[in-house]
Structure 1
Amino acid sequence: MDIRHTPDRTELVSIWQDTLLSIADLVDEASPEQWSSPTPCPGWSVGDVIAHVIDIEQVLGQEPRPDHAPDFAALPHATGDVGRFTEVGVDWRRGRAPKDVVGELRETIVRRRAQLDAVPIGGEVLSPFGRPTSMERLLSMRILDTWVHEQDIRAALDRPGGMETPGAIVTLQQFLSGLPKVWAKQAKAPEGATIHLVIADAGRGTEAWAVAGADGVGETCTPVDEPTVEVTMTWQDYLALSAGREDPPVVLRRVAVRGDGELGERMLAAMTQTP
Protein backbone atom coordinates (compact mmCIF):
# COMPACT_ATOMS: atom_id res chain seq x y z
CA MET A 1 0.00 0.00 0.00
CA ASP A 2 1.29 3.43 -0.93
CA ILE A 3 1.79 5.98 1.86
CA ARG A 4 -0.33 8.46 -0.12
CA HIS A 5 -3.33 6.10 -0.19
CA THR A 6 -6.07 6.61 2.40
CA PRO A 7 -7.68 3.23 3.04
CA ASP A 8 -11.46 3.09 3.22
CA ARG A 9 -13.48 1.25 5.85
CA THR A 10 -13.42 -2.10 4.02
CA GLU A 11 -9.66 -1.93 3.62
CA LEU A 12 -9.17 -0.91 7.24
CA VAL A 13 -11.16 -3.90 8.50
CA SER A 14 -8.95 -6.23 6.47
CA ILE A 15 -5.76 -4.51 7.63
CA TRP A 16 -6.94 -4.66 11.26
CA GLN A 17 -7.62 -8.38 10.97
CA ASP A 18 -4.36 -9.13 9.14
CA THR A 19 -2.36 -7.23 11.77
CA LEU A 20 -3.94 -9.22 14.59
CA LEU A 21 -3.40 -12.51 12.77
CA SER A 22 0.22 -11.54 12.18
CA ILE A 23 0.97 -11.42 15.90
CA ALA A 24 -0.89 -14.69 16.44
CA ASP A 25 1.25 -16.30 13.73
CA LEU A 26 4.41 -14.86 15.28
CA VAL A 27 3.87 -16.67 18.58
CA ASP A 28 2.14 -19.84 17.39
CA GLU A 29 5.31 -21.89 17.86
CA ALA A 30 6.93 -19.80 20.59
CA SER A 31 8.91 -21.75 23.16
CA PRO A 32 8.24 -21.18 26.89
CA GLU A 33 11.40 -19.07 27.00
CA GLN A 34 10.27 -16.95 24.06
CA TRP A 35 6.77 -16.55 25.54
CA SER A 36 8.26 -15.15 28.73
CA SER A 37 10.86 -12.97 26.99
CA PRO A 38 10.70 -9.29 28.04
CA THR A 39 9.45 -6.79 25.47
CA PRO A 40 10.09 -3.03 25.21
CA CYS A 41 6.86 -2.54 27.20
CA PRO A 42 7.92 -2.18 30.86
CA GLY A 43 6.97 -5.22 32.90
CA TRP A 44 5.43 -7.10 29.99
CA SER A 45 6.60 -10.32 28.38
CA VAL A 46 5.64 -11.54 24.91
CA GLY A 47 2.73 -13.43 26.47
CA ASP A 48 1.63 -10.32 28.36
CA VAL A 49 1.47 -8.32 25.12
CA ILE A 50 -0.74 -11.00 23.55
CA ALA A 51 -2.97 -10.94 26.63
CA HIS A 52 -3.25 -7.13 26.41
CA VAL A 53 -4.31 -7.24 22.77
CA ILE A 54 -6.98 -9.83 23.58
CA ASP A 55 -8.25 -7.81 26.53
CA ILE A 56 -8.62 -4.54 24.60
CA GLU A 57 -10.44 -6.19 21.70
CA GLN A 58 -12.82 -7.88 24.14
CA VAL A 59 -13.42 -4.58 25.94
CA LEU A 60 -14.29 -2.97 22.61
CA GLY A 61 -16.63 -5.90 21.92
CA GLN A 62 -18.28 -5.18 25.30
CA GLU A 63 -17.46 -8.66 26.56
CA PRO A 64 -17.31 -9.10 30.36
CA ARG A 65 -13.86 -8.64 31.86
CA PRO A 66 -12.41 -11.08 34.40
CA ASP A 67 -13.27 -10.38 38.01
CA HIS A 68 -9.64 -10.08 39.01
CA ALA A 69 -7.64 -7.79 41.28
CA PRO A 70 -3.91 -7.84 40.49
CA ASP A 71 -1.37 -7.46 43.27
CA PHE A 72 -0.32 -4.01 42.16
CA ALA A 73 2.32 -3.82 44.87
CA ALA A 74 4.18 -6.52 42.94
CA LEU A 75 3.59 -4.76 39.59
CA PRO A 76 5.40 -1.41 39.83
CA HIS A 77 5.10 -0.84 36.09
CA ALA A 78 1.29 -0.62 36.37
CA THR A 79 0.84 3.02 37.32
CA GLY A 80 -2.03 5.44 36.86
CA ASP A 81 -5.63 4.62 36.02
CA VAL A 82 -4.90 3.49 32.46
CA GLY A 83 -1.94 1.33 33.51
CA ARG A 84 -3.96 -0.39 36.23
CA PHE A 85 -6.93 -0.86 33.93
CA THR A 86 -4.90 -2.56 31.22
CA GLU A 87 -3.05 -4.71 33.74
CA VAL A 88 -6.21 -6.54 34.85
CA GLY A 89 -6.67 -8.58 31.67
CA VAL A 90 -2.93 -9.13 31.35
CA ASP A 91 -2.35 -10.33 34.88
CA TRP A 92 -5.40 -12.60 34.79
CA ARG A 93 -3.93 -14.51 31.84
CA ARG A 94 -0.45 -14.94 33.32
CA GLY A 95 0.32 -18.58 33.92
CA ARG A 96 -2.11 -19.86 31.30
CA ALA A 97 -0.75 -22.16 28.61
CA PRO A 98 0.50 -20.16 25.61
CA LYS A 99 -1.51 -22.27 23.15
CA ASP A 100 -4.69 -21.44 25.09
CA VAL A 101 -3.94 -17.71 25.05
CA VAL A 102 -3.16 -17.73 21.32
CA GLY A 103 -6.32 -19.74 20.74
CA GLU A 104 -8.30 -17.12 22.66
CA LEU A 105 -6.78 -14.40 20.48
CA ARG A 106 -7.84 -16.16 17.30
CA GLU A 107 -11.36 -16.73 18.64
CA THR A 108 -11.59 -13.08 19.69
CA ILE A 109 -10.59 -11.96 16.19
CA VAL A 110 -13.44 -14.01 14.69
CA ARG A 111 -16.02 -12.54 17.08
CA ARG A 112 -14.80 -8.98 16.63
CA ARG A 113 -14.76 -9.29 12.84
CA ALA A 114 -18.42 -10.34 12.90
CA GLN A 115 -19.26 -7.38 15.14
CA LEU A 116 -17.43 -4.90 12.92
CA ASP A 117 -19.02 -6.27 9.75
CA ALA A 118 -22.45 -5.73 11.34
CA VAL A 119 -21.89 -2.00 11.98
CA PRO A 120 -23.91 -0.02 9.39
CA ILE A 121 -22.14 2.36 7.07
CA GLY A 122 -21.74 5.65 8.92
CA GLY A 123 -22.47 4.00 12.25
CA GLU A 124 -20.46 4.82 15.34
CA VAL A 125 -18.62 2.46 17.66
CA LEU A 126 -17.05 2.84 21.09
CA SER A 127 -13.43 3.92 21.36
CA PRO A 128 -11.07 2.30 23.90
CA PHE A 129 -11.96 5.23 26.19
CA GLY A 130 -15.69 4.54 25.98
CA ARG A 131 -16.55 7.47 23.71
CA PRO A 132 -18.41 7.17 20.39
CA THR A 133 -16.18 7.39 17.34
CA SER A 134 -16.25 6.45 13.68
CA MET A 135 -15.36 2.97 12.49
CA GLU A 136 -12.51 4.40 10.45
CA ARG A 137 -11.03 6.18 13.47
CA LEU A 138 -11.36 3.15 15.73
CA LEU A 139 -9.81 0.79 13.20
CA SER A 140 -6.90 3.15 12.56
CA MET A 141 -6.25 3.38 16.31
CA ARG A 142 -6.42 -0.39 16.75
CA ILE A 143 -4.13 -1.01 13.77
CA LEU A 144 -1.55 1.37 15.23
CA ASP A 145 -1.69 -0.19 18.69
CA THR A 146 -1.59 -3.76 17.42
CA TRP A 147 1.13 -3.17 14.83
CA VAL A 148 3.35 -1.39 17.36
CA HIS A 149 2.87 -4.37 19.69
CA GLU A 150 3.80 -6.67 16.80
CA GLN A 151 7.09 -4.79 16.66
CA ASP A 152 7.47 -5.20 20.43
CA ILE A 153 7.09 -8.95 20.01
CA ARG A 154 9.49 -9.03 17.05
CA ALA A 155 12.08 -7.17 19.12
CA ALA A 156 11.73 -9.67 21.97
CA LEU A 157 11.99 -12.65 19.63
CA ASP A 158 14.76 -11.09 17.50
CA ARG A 159 12.59 -11.50 14.40
CA PRO A 160 12.66 -8.12 12.64
CA GLY A 161 10.23 -7.49 9.81
CA GLY A 162 6.80 -6.18 8.97
CA MET A 163 7.96 -2.61 8.35
CA GLU A 164 6.36 -2.38 4.90
CA THR A 165 2.97 -4.01 5.55
CA PRO A 166 -0.33 -2.14 5.19
CA GLY A 167 -0.50 -2.07 9.01
CA ALA A 168 2.89 -0.38 9.11
CA ILE A 169 1.79 2.22 6.58
CA VAL A 170 -1.46 3.00 8.42
CA THR A 171 0.62 3.46 11.58
CA LEU A 172 3.09 5.74 9.82
CA GLN A 173 0.25 7.81 8.38
CA GLN A 174 -1.17 8.36 11.87
CA PHE A 175 2.18 9.32 13.38
CA LEU A 176 2.78 11.80 10.57
CA SER A 177 -0.70 13.30 11.01
CA GLY A 178 0.23 14.02 14.62
CA LEU A 179 3.33 16.03 13.67
CA PRO A 180 1.69 19.50 13.99
CA LYS A 181 0.62 18.75 17.58
CA VAL A 182 4.02 17.30 18.48
CA TRP A 183 5.80 20.31 17.01
CA ALA A 184 3.66 23.11 18.40
CA LYS A 185 2.29 21.73 21.66
CA GLN A 186 4.68 19.06 22.86
CA ALA A 187 7.96 20.56 21.62
CA LYS A 188 6.65 24.10 22.25
CA ALA A 189 8.03 25.48 18.98
CA PRO A 190 7.63 29.27 18.77
CA GLU A 191 4.92 30.75 16.62
CA GLY A 192 5.86 30.68 12.95
CA ALA A 193 8.56 28.01 13.35
CA THR A 194 8.51 25.28 10.71
CA ILE A 195 9.55 21.63 10.81
CA HIS A 196 10.45 19.39 7.88
CA LEU A 197 10.47 15.69 8.79
CA VAL A 198 12.00 13.22 6.36
CA ILE A 199 11.68 9.44 6.69
CA ALA A 200 14.58 8.39 4.51
CA ASP A 201 14.45 4.60 4.27
CA ALA A 202 15.48 2.96 1.00
CA GLY A 203 12.41 2.71 -1.19
CA ARG A 204 10.46 5.21 0.92
CA GLY A 205 10.51 8.95 0.34
CA THR A 206 8.14 10.10 3.03
CA GLU A 207 8.17 13.65 4.36
CA ALA A 208 5.89 15.95 6.33
CA TRP A 209 5.76 19.66 7.09
CA ALA A 210 4.24 21.60 9.99
CA VAL A 211 4.18 25.15 11.32
CA ALA A 212 3.57 26.27 14.89
CA GLY A 213 0.76 28.73 15.47
CA ALA A 214 -0.32 30.63 18.54
CA ASP A 215 -1.13 28.96 21.87
CA GLY A 216 0.50 25.64 21.02
CA VAL A 217 -1.63 24.97 17.96
CA GLY A 218 0.13 23.56 14.92
CA GLU A 219 -0.94 22.76 11.39
CA THR A 220 0.45 21.23 8.25
CA CYS A 221 2.06 23.64 5.83
CA THR A 222 3.51 23.79 2.37
CA PRO A 223 7.27 23.38 1.96
CA VAL A 224 9.50 26.37 2.66
CA ASP A 225 13.05 26.99 1.46
CA GLU A 226 14.61 27.17 4.93
CA PRO A 227 12.64 25.34 7.63
CA THR A 228 13.46 26.21 11.24
CA VAL A 229 14.33 22.55 11.81
CA GLU A 230 14.82 19.69 9.40
CA VAL A 231 15.01 16.16 10.83
CA THR A 232 15.96 13.12 8.77
CA MET A 233 15.63 9.63 10.24
CA THR A 234 14.72 6.05 9.42
CA TRP A 235 11.23 4.61 9.84
CA GLN A 236 12.57 2.37 12.64
CA ASP A 237 13.87 5.39 14.57
CA TYR A 238 10.68 7.34 13.95
CA LEU A 239 8.71 4.40 15.35
CA ALA A 240 11.01 4.17 18.38
CA LEU A 241 10.45 7.84 19.20
CA SER A 242 6.75 8.11 18.32
CA ALA A 243 5.88 4.97 20.30
CA GLY A 244 8.19 5.86 23.19
CA ARG A 245 10.23 2.70 22.78
CA GLU A 246 13.72 4.21 23.01
CA ASP A 247 15.30 7.14 24.85
CA PRO A 248 15.57 10.23 22.60
CA PRO A 249 19.27 10.89 23.44
CA VAL A 250 20.12 7.42 22.13
CA VAL A 251 18.17 7.92 18.91
CA LEU A 252 19.62 11.41 18.47
CA ARG A 253 23.01 9.87 17.67
CA ARG A 254 21.44 8.25 14.60
CA VAL A 255 19.38 11.21 13.41
CA ALA A 256 20.37 14.13 11.21
CA VAL A 257 19.17 17.51 12.51
CA ARG A 258 19.65 20.69 10.48
CA GLY A 259 18.76 24.23 11.53
CA ASP A 260 17.97 25.11 15.14
CA GLY A 261 19.76 22.29 16.96
CA GLU A 262 18.33 23.04 20.41
CA LEU A 263 14.78 23.12 19.10
CA GLY A 264 15.45 19.99 17.06
CA GLU A 265 16.57 18.10 20.17
CA ARG A 266 13.51 19.36 22.02
CA MET A 267 11.38 18.06 19.17
CA LEU A 268 12.95 14.61 19.35
CA ALA A 269 12.46 14.48 23.12
CA ALA A 270 8.76 15.32 22.71
CA MET A 271 7.88 12.94 19.89
CA THR A 272 6.02 10.24 21.83
CA GLN A 273 2.41 9.94 20.65
CA THR A 274 1.29 6.71 22.33
CA PRO A 275 0.17 6.30 25.97
Structure 2
Amino acid sequence: MNDRLDALVEQAGPEAWTTATPAEGWDVGMQIAHLAWTDEVSLTAITDPDAFQGVVEQAMQDPTGFVDVGAAAIAATGRDQVLARWRAARDGLGRALAETDPGTQIPWFGPPMRPRSMATARIMETWAHGTDVADALGTTLDVPEALPHVARLGYRTRGFSYTMHGREAPAAEVRVELVGPDGAVHTFGPDDAPQRVTGSLEDFCLLVTQRVHRADTDLAATGASAEEWLGIAQAFAGLPGDGREEGSRA
Protein backbone atom coordinates (compact mmCIF):
# COMPACT_ATOMS: atom_id res chain seq x y z
CA MET A 1 0.00 0.00 0.00
CA ASN A 2 2.81 2.42 0.85
CA ASP A 3 4.38 1.74 -2.53
CA ARG A 4 1.13 2.43 -4.36
CA LEU A 5 0.56 5.68 -2.51
CA ASP A 6 4.18 6.64 -3.12
CA ALA A 7 3.78 5.94 -6.84
CA LEU A 8 0.58 7.98 -6.93
CA VAL A 9 2.30 11.00 -5.41
CA GLU A 10 5.38 10.56 -7.60
CA GLN A 11 3.32 10.33 -10.78
CA ALA A 12 1.35 13.46 -9.84
CA GLY A 13 4.58 15.42 -9.80
CA PRO A 14 5.79 18.45 -7.83
CA GLU A 15 2.95 20.64 -9.08
CA ALA A 16 0.40 18.50 -7.21
CA TRP A 17 2.22 18.72 -3.88
CA THR A 18 0.21 21.71 -2.69
CA THR A 19 -3.17 20.45 -3.94
CA ALA A 20 -5.81 20.79 -1.22
CA THR A 21 -7.20 17.53 0.17
CA PRO A 22 -10.62 16.90 1.76
CA ALA A 23 -9.05 17.42 5.21
CA GLU A 24 -9.50 21.13 5.88
CA GLY A 25 -6.19 22.99 5.76
CA TRP A 26 -4.19 19.96 4.62
CA ASP A 27 -2.63 19.69 1.18
CA VAL A 28 -0.98 16.59 -0.31
CA GLY A 29 2.36 17.51 1.22
CA MET A 30 0.90 17.81 4.71
CA GLN A 31 -0.76 14.41 4.38
CA ILE A 32 2.54 12.73 3.48
CA ALA A 33 4.39 14.70 6.17
CA HIS A 34 1.86 13.43 8.72
CA LEU A 35 2.53 9.84 7.68
CA ALA A 36 6.27 10.46 7.93
CA TRP A 37 5.91 11.97 11.40
CA THR A 38 3.71 9.15 12.67
CA ASP A 39 5.97 6.44 11.24
CA GLU A 40 8.98 8.10 12.88
CA VAL A 41 7.20 8.33 16.23
CA SER A 42 6.03 4.71 15.93
CA LEU A 43 9.62 3.64 15.33
CA THR A 44 10.71 5.61 18.40
CA ALA A 45 8.04 3.87 20.49
CA ILE A 46 9.59 0.52 19.56
CA THR A 47 13.28 1.36 19.72
CA ASP A 48 13.39 3.95 22.53
CA PRO A 49 10.36 3.85 24.87
CA ASP A 50 11.91 6.48 27.16
CA ALA A 51 12.23 8.92 24.28
CA PHE A 52 8.69 8.12 23.25
CA GLN A 53 7.48 8.97 26.75
CA GLY A 54 9.00 12.40 26.19
CA VAL A 55 6.91 12.72 23.03
CA VAL A 56 3.79 11.79 25.01
CA GLU A 57 4.58 14.44 27.61
CA GLN A 58 4.95 17.05 24.86
CA ALA A 59 1.63 15.94 23.39
CA MET A 60 -0.08 16.44 26.72
CA GLN A 61 0.89 20.11 26.61
CA ASP A 62 -1.04 20.62 23.38
CA PRO A 63 -3.28 17.59 22.78
CA THR A 64 -5.31 19.21 19.99
CA GLY A 65 -2.42 20.60 17.93
CA PHE A 66 0.70 18.61 18.78
CA VAL A 67 0.51 16.15 15.89
CA ASP A 68 -0.26 18.86 13.35
CA VAL A 69 2.69 20.93 14.55
CA GLY A 70 5.02 17.97 14.11
CA ALA A 71 3.72 17.22 10.63
CA ALA A 72 3.88 20.89 9.62
CA ALA A 73 7.54 21.07 10.65
CA ILE A 74 8.33 18.15 8.34
CA ALA A 75 6.16 19.56 5.53
CA ALA A 76 8.10 22.83 5.69
CA THR A 77 11.30 21.05 4.62
CA GLY A 78 9.99 20.60 1.07
CA ARG A 79 8.75 17.79 -1.12
CA ASP A 80 12.02 15.93 -1.66
CA GLN A 81 12.91 15.93 2.01
CA VAL A 82 9.43 14.88 3.09
CA LEU A 83 9.35 11.97 0.67
CA ALA A 84 12.83 10.86 1.74
CA ARG A 85 11.87 10.95 5.42
CA TRP A 86 8.62 9.09 4.81
CA ARG A 87 10.37 6.35 2.85
CA ALA A 88 13.11 5.95 5.44
CA ALA A 89 10.67 5.97 8.36
CA ARG A 90 8.24 3.44 6.93
CA ASP A 91 11.06 1.09 5.90
CA GLY A 92 12.67 1.33 9.32
CA LEU A 93 9.34 0.80 11.04
CA GLY A 94 8.58 -2.26 8.93
CA ARG A 95 11.89 -3.85 9.90
CA ALA A 96 11.45 -2.99 13.58
CA LEU A 97 7.96 -4.47 13.71
CA ALA A 98 9.18 -7.66 12.05
CA GLU A 99 12.04 -8.01 14.54
CA THR A 100 10.01 -7.24 17.69
CA ASP A 101 8.76 -10.10 19.84
CA PRO A 102 5.05 -10.61 19.02
CA GLY A 103 4.11 -10.38 22.69
CA THR A 104 5.79 -7.03 23.29
CA GLN A 105 3.50 -4.23 24.47
CA ILE A 106 4.55 -1.15 22.50
CA PRO A 107 3.63 2.15 24.19
CA TRP A 108 1.35 4.50 22.28
CA PHE A 109 -0.80 7.62 22.73
CA GLY A 110 -3.76 5.34 23.34
CA PRO A 111 -3.55 1.83 24.83
CA PRO A 112 -0.25 -0.05 24.31
CA MET A 113 -0.17 -2.29 21.25
CA ARG A 114 1.52 -5.49 20.22
CA PRO A 115 3.51 -5.39 16.96
CA ARG A 116 0.68 -6.90 14.93
CA SER A 117 -1.78 -4.32 16.22
CA MET A 118 0.64 -1.48 15.50
CA ALA A 119 1.11 -2.78 11.96
CA THR A 120 -2.67 -2.82 11.54
CA ALA A 121 -2.88 0.73 12.91
CA ARG A 122 -0.30 1.88 10.37
CA ILE A 123 -2.27 0.22 7.57
CA MET A 124 -5.37 2.05 8.79
CA GLU A 125 -3.73 5.44 8.95
CA THR A 126 -1.87 5.10 5.66
CA TRP A 127 -5.09 4.00 3.96
CA ALA A 128 -7.05 6.91 5.46
CA HIS A 129 -4.55 9.60 4.54
CA GLY A 130 -3.84 7.92 1.22
CA THR A 131 -7.55 8.09 0.46
CA ASP A 132 -7.48 11.85 1.11
CA VAL A 133 -4.51 12.20 -1.25
CA ALA A 134 -6.18 10.12 -3.94
CA ASP A 135 -9.40 12.14 -3.64
CA ALA A 136 -7.43 15.36 -4.01
CA LEU A 137 -5.74 14.04 -7.14
CA GLY A 138 -9.03 12.87 -8.66
CA THR A 139 -8.21 9.18 -8.54
CA THR A 140 -8.52 6.19 -6.20
CA LEU A 141 -6.07 4.34 -4.01
CA ASP A 142 -6.83 0.83 -5.20
CA VAL A 143 -5.77 -1.28 -2.22
CA PRO A 144 -8.76 -3.53 -1.41
CA GLU A 145 -6.52 -5.82 0.63
CA ALA A 146 -6.22 -3.07 3.26
CA LEU A 147 -9.95 -2.84 3.93
CA PRO A 148 -10.40 -5.94 6.14
CA HIS A 149 -7.56 -4.74 8.38
CA VAL A 150 -9.07 -1.27 8.71
CA ALA A 151 -12.51 -2.71 9.42
CA ARG A 152 -11.16 -5.11 12.06
CA LEU A 153 -9.46 -2.23 13.85
CA GLY A 154 -12.62 -0.16 13.57
CA TYR A 155 -14.59 -2.92 15.25
CA ARG A 156 -12.01 -3.53 17.98
CA THR A 157 -11.86 0.16 18.89
CA ARG A 158 -15.58 0.41 19.62
CA GLY A 159 -15.01 0.74 23.38
CA PHE A 160 -12.19 3.21 22.81
CA SER A 161 -14.51 5.39 20.73
CA TYR A 162 -16.87 5.70 23.68
CA THR A 163 -13.99 6.49 26.04
CA MET A 164 -12.77 9.30 23.80
CA HIS A 165 -16.26 10.80 23.86
CA GLY A 166 -16.52 10.57 27.62
CA ARG A 167 -19.16 7.86 27.51
CA GLU A 168 -19.45 4.36 28.91
CA ALA A 169 -19.61 1.68 26.25
CA PRO A 170 -22.84 -0.35 26.30
CA ALA A 171 -22.57 -3.93 27.50
CA ALA A 172 -24.50 -5.20 24.48
CA GLU A 173 -22.33 -6.76 21.78
CA VAL A 174 -22.61 -5.68 18.15
CA ARG A 175 -22.51 -7.96 15.14
CA VAL A 176 -20.91 -6.41 12.05
CA GLU A 177 -21.43 -7.87 8.58
CA LEU A 178 -19.73 -6.07 5.69
CA VAL A 179 -19.58 -6.83 1.97
CA GLY A 180 -16.23 -6.27 0.28
CA PRO A 181 -15.61 -5.10 -3.30
CA ASP A 182 -15.26 -8.74 -4.39
CA GLY A 183 -18.53 -9.78 -2.78
CA ALA A 184 -16.87 -11.50 0.18
CA VAL A 185 -18.59 -10.98 3.53
CA HIS A 186 -16.44 -9.92 6.49
CA THR A 187 -17.93 -10.44 9.94
CA PHE A 188 -17.02 -9.31 13.43
CA GLY A 189 -18.72 -9.98 16.75
CA PRO A 190 -21.12 -12.70 17.95
CA ASP A 191 -23.43 -13.96 15.25
CA ASP A 192 -26.39 -13.90 17.64
CA ALA A 193 -25.91 -10.31 18.83
CA PRO A 194 -29.21 -8.37 18.49
CA GLN A 195 -27.33 -5.13 17.80
CA ARG A 196 -26.10 -5.19 14.19
CA VAL A 197 -24.30 -3.15 11.56
CA THR A 198 -24.46 -4.16 7.90
CA GLY A 199 -23.34 -2.63 4.65
CA SER A 200 -20.30 -1.92 2.52
CA LEU A 201 -16.84 -2.82 3.80
CA GLU A 202 -15.39 0.33 2.24
CA ASP A 203 -18.09 2.58 3.71
CA PHE A 204 -17.44 1.17 7.18
CA CYS A 205 -13.71 1.81 6.77
CA LEU A 206 -14.37 5.36 5.61
CA LEU A 207 -16.66 5.96 8.58
CA VAL A 208 -14.35 4.64 11.31
CA THR A 209 -11.50 6.75 9.88
CA GLN A 210 -13.89 9.73 9.67
CA ARG A 211 -13.50 10.12 5.91
CA VAL A 212 -17.23 10.19 5.27
CA HIS A 213 -20.37 11.46 6.97
CA ARG A 214 -22.63 8.77 8.39
CA ALA A 215 -25.47 9.88 6.09
CA ASP A 216 -23.31 9.31 3.01
CA THR A 217 -22.78 5.60 3.69
CA ASP A 218 -24.96 2.58 2.98
CA LEU A 219 -24.47 1.31 6.52
CA ALA A 220 -27.57 0.12 8.33
CA ALA A 221 -27.78 -0.16 12.11
CA THR A 222 -30.17 -2.36 14.04
CA GLY A 223 -30.51 -1.28 17.66
CA ALA A 224 -29.83 1.95 19.51
CA SER A 225 -26.34 0.95 20.62
CA ALA A 226 -25.27 0.12 17.07
CA GLU A 227 -26.60 3.43 15.77
CA GLU A 228 -24.93 5.38 18.58
CA TRP A 229 -21.59 3.72 17.87
CA LEU A 230 -21.69 4.64 14.19
CA GLY A 231 -22.08 8.26 15.23
CA ILE A 232 -18.86 8.31 17.25
CA ALA A 233 -16.71 5.55 15.75
CA GLN A 234 -13.00 6.22 15.41
CA ALA A 235 -10.27 3.71 14.67
CA PHE A 236 -7.43 6.15 15.38
CA ALA A 237 -5.79 7.18 18.65
CA GLY A 238 -6.21 10.71 19.89
CA LEU A 239 -9.03 13.15 20.35
CA PRO A 240 -12.20 12.77 18.26
CA GLY A 241 -12.12 14.68 15.02
CA ASP A 242 -14.86 16.82 13.52
CA GLY A 243 -15.44 14.31 10.77
CA ARG A 244 -16.68 15.26 7.30
CA GLU A 245 -19.72 17.27 6.30
CA GLU A 246 -22.68 15.50 4.76
CA GLY A 247 -22.38 15.36 0.99
CA SER A 248 -18.64 16.13 0.99
CA ARG A 249 -17.73 12.77 -0.56
CA ALA A 250 -19.12 12.04 -3.98
Q: How high is the TM-score relative to the length of structure 1?
A: 0.65
- Contact (CA 8 Å) 1:55, 1:89: kept in 2 or not? yes
Letter in 1 for 2:154: F
The equivalences for 1:1-275 within 5 A come to 19-62=1-44, 81-119=62-100, 121-122=101-102, 124=104, 126-129=106-109, 133-165=113-145, 167-179=146-158, 193=172, 195-201=174-180, 202-209=182-189, 221-223=190-192, 227=194, 229-251=195-217, 254-258=218-222, 260=223, 265-274=227-236, 275=238
CA deviation vs aligned residue, 1:159-210 (integer Å, no higher than 9, x gap): 2243422x3322222223334666999787865x55433213442212333x
Return the alpha-carbon distance in structure 1 between the equivalents of residues 92 and 216 of structure 2: 42
For these two proteins, the number of residue pairs brought into alignment is 223
Letter in 2 for 1:237: D
Return the alpha-carbon distance in structure 1 between the equivalents of residues 24 and 85 of structure 2: 24
What fraction of aligned residue pairs are identical, expressed as a percent?
Answer: 22
- Contact (CA 8 Å) 1:242, 1:273: kept in 2 or not? yes
CA drift of 1:114 comes to 4.2
- 3-state secondary structure, aligned to 1:246: coil
Give the direction of change, closer, same or farther, for the CA distance of 1:113–1:249 in structure 2 (3 Å limit).
closer
Letter in 1 for 2:119: L
Return the alpha-carbon distance in structure 1 between the equivalents of residues 16 and 26 of structure 2: 12
Give the direction of change, closer, same or farther, for the CA distance of 1:54–1:257 in structure 2 (3 Å limit).
closer
Say which one has the larger Rg.
1
- 3-state secondary structure, aligned to 1:124: coil
- Contact (CA 8 Å) 1:24, 1:105: kept in 2 or not? no
CA drift of 1:90 comes to 1.7
CA drift of 1:54 comes to 0.9
Return the alpha-carbon distance in structure 2 between the equivalents of residues 236 and 256 of structure 1: 14
- 3-state secondary structure, aligned to 2:84: helix
Return the alpha-carbon distance in structure 2 between the equivalents of residues 230 and 268 of structure 1: 11
- 3-state secondary structure, aligned to 2:139: coil
- 3-state secondary structure, aligned to 1:232: strand
Any unmatched runs of 5+ in structure 1?
Answer: 1-18, 66-79, 210-220
- 3-state secondary structure, aligned to 2:22: coil
- Contact (CA 8 Å) 1:21, 1:106: kept in 2 or not? no
Letter in 2 for 1:93: I
CA deviation vs aligned residue, 1:108-149 (integer Å, no higher than 9, x gap): 233334444543x34636434398642223222222222222
CA drift of 1:51 comes to 0.5
Give the direction of change, closer, same or farther, for the CA distance of 1:129–1:157 in structure 2 (3 Å limit).
same
Q: Which moved more, 1:194-203 or 1:84-93?
A: 194-203
- Contact (CA 8 Å) 1:144, 1:170: kept in 2 or not? yes
Q: How high is the TM-score relative to the length of structure 2?
A: 0.70
Give the direction of change, closer, same or farther, for the CA distance of 1:116–1:83 in structure 2 (3 Å limit).
same
Give the direction of change, closer, same or farther, for the CA distance of 1:128–1:52 in structure 2 (3 Å limit).
farther
